[in-house]
Amino acid sequence: MRRNIATDLILSILFSVVTNTVCITPPGKPKITSCRSPEKETFTCWWEPGYDGGLPTTYALYYRLETSETVYECSDYHTAGPNSCYFNKNDTSIWVNYNITVVATNRRGTNYSDPVDVDVVYIVQPHTPENVTVLVKADEQGPYLRVSWEKPRNADTSSGWITLVYQLRVKLKNQDEWEEHDVGQQKTFNVFSPHSGGTYMVQVRCKPDHGLWSEWSTTSYIQVPDYITRERSMWIIIAIFTVLVFIILTWILNLKRSSVKHCLLPPVPGPKIIGIDRNLLKNGKSEDVFNALVIPGFPPSDYEDLLVEYLEVYDSENQELMLDGKDLQEGCLKLKSPSDNDSGRGSCDSHTLLMEKVAKEEPTLESSQQEVEAETPSTASLQPEYAQPSAWPTVLAPDQPYQLDSPWKSLPDVFISPPVSPQLKCTTGPKHKKGLYEPSINGLEGKGDSMVSSPRTMEYVEVQRVNQQNVLLLRPLAEQNLGSHTTSVEMPEEDYSKVKGVTSNNVLLLQQEVSTQYISDQEETCPMMQQTQLGKPVVHHPPAVVPSGMQLTSNGYVDTATY
């Protein structure tokens, strides 16, 4: 029994000794967590105690100022709560560094915290703003939220000791992100265009000019009533108005579609040909269309009168004219329209050049004509004499066919018979332009010298009509003016003479000498022509006198243009 009690006693003593040896230690090192000043007049420091060592531990805060070596102990450990030290206004100096240390002490020992240097100016963290209120206000722009608050207590902003700036944050109740706004030194803020029917949460905080932000104020809630925004209502009105305008325009366009179509797409005027029926064209009956083009009564029966062709007939004086009615149709002369002075025949065929040639060849002509006259009584055949062809273009070479490629080709070959004279001669002298025919009458031989020496004249004829053999039927203009019957150009039946002149009684003065110029192909026809003419009486025997005032051309023909 005694052994048990003693054993228990010894074991308990040992246990307590061991326990005290393990758990009882000096206190752990405390740690100063923060020091804050709410208004830059007082401040508070908090610390975190360490392990107490199993023993009751006391904590003390000691501080000293920068400018002195004196160590002061905190005078108020209760105002700010446990493990804190409150420095009142008397103990707080601004713009001075505090060196603060916390000491933990227990029965086993003491432990010091790390020293902390504190300048009150840079540890100012004011209280949260007070009386944060949110109201829904409305103006002409629409409803908005007006947030207002008060400065935190104990903050002396009126004297300028402390300057506070504020910050606000707001969000809808169902949102996660806050919307922050820097407000400055003012104490009101407006939130415009809130969501209709939404619930907003608002918080405010503040900060001194060189300090720390305060905590956020308690959340303020506000319910926004349902409304239609001004902008949305405006867009609704604009949309309705636009739709109405569109409907009205569509209706108007539908009513006036024809006139609009005519205005925008005017019909293109189609070609209008008198006599053409568009319906016939559409029907596709070309025969009817072409028949419609036919104008009744056209050409007129007397269309022959419309065919007016003024031809200049040239013939060399040196070439004797052989008249043969049949052969005459084979083509002899080419007649030239007076309006076609140089139509495709080259410069050699121009009237001007012709006149020059005639002027040059005149002496030759005169000599040749004189030879012919000398032989007149006995000469009954034409001996076409060709002058030297040097002055002639190649187209008029003797070995070339008569018919040449020229604009005159369209005209049928026409034979112009000189006035009928048994002594008519067809002489060929210096070649003039092809087709130049200068008939002369033998009766004028006596005065042939003078006649020959005088410039040859031209006879103008009028194309009366074209027969079926493509022969031009000509009529001298002089006969027409005289009112004489027209003579056909059918060489075999009519006599032609060189017109010397016209008397005052409108009588043609014809020359009996015949001087024509033919190329080699005409040699056959010339004599034939001559023969034809010899068999027929002369229509007019030209007197030997040329009336005064008359102008004879170089070839002896009367220039009717002088009338």
The distance of closest approach from Cβ of residue 94 to another protein in the complex, given in angstroms and rounded to an integer, is 5
The distance of closest approach from Cβ of residue 129 to another protein in the complex, given in angstroms and rounded to an integer, is 12
Q: Is 21 in the site for another protein (CB under 8 A)?
A: no
Contact code string over 352-391 relative to another protein, x by CB under 8 A? ----------------------------------------
Q: Is 148 in the site for another protein (CB under 8 A)?
A: no
The distance of closest approach from Cβ of residue 221 to another protein in the complex, given in angstroms and rounded to an integer, is 27
The answer to whether residues 547 and 343 touch, using CB atoms and an 8 Å cutoff, is no
Report the C-alpha gap between 137 and 25 in whole angstroms.
Answer: 66
Q: Which residues contact 453 (CB under 8 A, 6 or more apart)?
A: 366
The distance of closest approach from Cβ of residue 116 to another protein in the complex, given in angstroms and rounded to an integer, is 11
Q: Is 160 in the site for another protein (CB under 8 A)?
A: yes
Binder of another protein out of 50, 105, 151, 513 (CB under 8 A):
151
The answer to whether residues 50 and 28 touch, using CB atoms and an 8 Å cutoff, is yes
Contact code string over 292-331 relative to another protein, x by CB under 8 A? ----------------------------------------
In terms of CB distance, is 16 or 188 closer to another protein?
A: 188
Binder of another protein out of 34, 83, 99, 364 (CB under 8 A):
99
Q: In what order do the strands lie in the sheet with 319-320?
A: 426-427, 319-320, 515-516, 437-438
Report the C-alpha gap between 106 and 293 in whole angstroms.
Answer: 141
Q: Is 156 in the site for another protein (CB under 8 A)?
A: yes
Give the footprint of another protein on residues 464-483 (CB under 8 A): none
The answer to whether residues 541 and 447 touch, using CB atoms and an 8 Å cutoff, is no
* β partners of residue 336: 312
Report the C-alpha gap between 303 and 465 in whole angstroms.
Answer: 9
Q: What one-character DSSP code corresponds to residue 308?
A: -
The tokens for 427 are 């002489």
The distance of closest approach from Cβ of residue 95 to another protein in the complex, given in angstroms and rounded to an integer, is 5
Report the C-alpha gap between 3 and 468 in whole angstroms.
Answer: 183
Q: How many residues make up the chain in this entry?
A: 563
Binder of another protein out of 163, 175, 259, 283 (CB under 8 A):
163
Burial (CB count <10 Å: 0-12, 13-18, 19+), residue 119: middle
Binder of another protein out of 28, 115, 412, 455 (CB under 8 A):
115
* β partners of residue 208: 164
Q: In what order do the strands lie in the sheet with 199-208?
A: 179-184, 164-172, 199-208, 220-223
Q: How far is CA 446 from CA 167, 201, 246, 312, 366, in A?
A: 145, 146, 108, 27, 14
In terms of CB distance, is 209 or 215 closer to another protein?
A: 209
The tokens for 211 are 């300090």
Q: Is 41 in the site for another protein (CB under 8 A)?
A: yes
The distance of closest approach from Cβ of residue 34 to another protein in the complex, given in angstroms and rounded to an integer, is 19
Report the C-alpha gap between 337 and 308 in whole angstroms.
Answer: 10
Q: Is 117 in the site for another protein (CB under 8 A)?
A: yes
Q: Which residues contact 131 (CB under 8 A, 6 or more apart)?
A: 148, 149, 150
In terms of CB distance, is 164 or 509 closer to another protein?
A: 164
In terms of CB distance, is 214 or 522 closer to another protein?
A: 214
Which amino acid, 71? V
Residue recorded with tokens 């053409």: 276
In terms of CB distance, is 209 or 231 closer to another protein?
A: 209
Q: Is 210 in the site for another protein (CB under 8 A)?
A: yes
Report the C-alpha gap between 81 and 84 in whole angstroms.
Answer: 6
Q: Is 70 in the site for another protein (CB under 8 A)?
A: no
The distance of closest approach from Cβ of residue 103 to another protein in the complex, given in angstroms and rounded to an integer, is 17
The distance of closest approach from Cβ of residue 167 to another protein in the complex, given in angstroms and rounded to an integer, is 18
In terms of CB distance, is 18 or 94 closer to another protein?
A: 94
Closest by alpha carbon to 425, among 467, 463, 386, 378?
A: 378
- Residue count at the site for another protein (CB under 8 A)? 26
Report the C-alpha gap between 117 and 139 in whole angstroms.
Answer: 54
In terms of CB distance, is 88 or 470 closer to another protein?
A: 88
Which listed range, 54-62, 115-123, 435-443, 468-476, lies at the site for another protein (CB under 8 A)? 115-123
The distance of closest approach from Cβ of residue 165 to another protein in the complex, given in angstroms and rounded to an integer, is 12
The tokens for 391 are 């002055």
In terms of CB distance, is 164 or 552 closer to another protein?
A: 164
Q: Is 159 in the site for another protein (CB under 8 A)?
A: yes
The distance of closest approach from Cβ of residue 151 to another protein in the complex, given in angstroms and rounded to an integer, is 6
Q: Which residues contact 98 (CB under 8 A, 6 or more apart)?
A: 63, 64, 65, 66, 117, 118, 119, 120
Q: At what angle do helices 257-264 and 230-255 cross, to 10 degrees?
A: 90
| Other CB atoms within 10 Å distance of the CB of residue 500 | 30
The distance of closest approach from Cβ of residue 41 to another protein in the complex, given in angstroms and rounded to an integer, is 5
Binder of another protein out of 209, 277, 288, 356 (CB under 8 A):
209
Report the C-alpha gap between 519 and 113 in whole angstroms.
Answer: 151
In terms of CB distance, is 109 or 115 closer to another protein?
A: 115
Q: Is 276 in the site for another protein (CB under 8 A)?
A: no
In terms of CB distance, is 161 or 303 closer to another protein?
A: 161
Give the footprint of another protein on residues 77-96 (CB under 8 A): 89, 92-96
Q: Is 409 in the site for another protein (CB under 8 A)?
A: no
Q: Is 130 in the site for another protein (CB under 8 A)?
A: no
Write out the residues near another protein by the rule CB under 8 A. Answer: 40-41, 66-67, 89, 92-97, 99, 115, 117, 119, 121, 151, 156-161, 163, 209-210
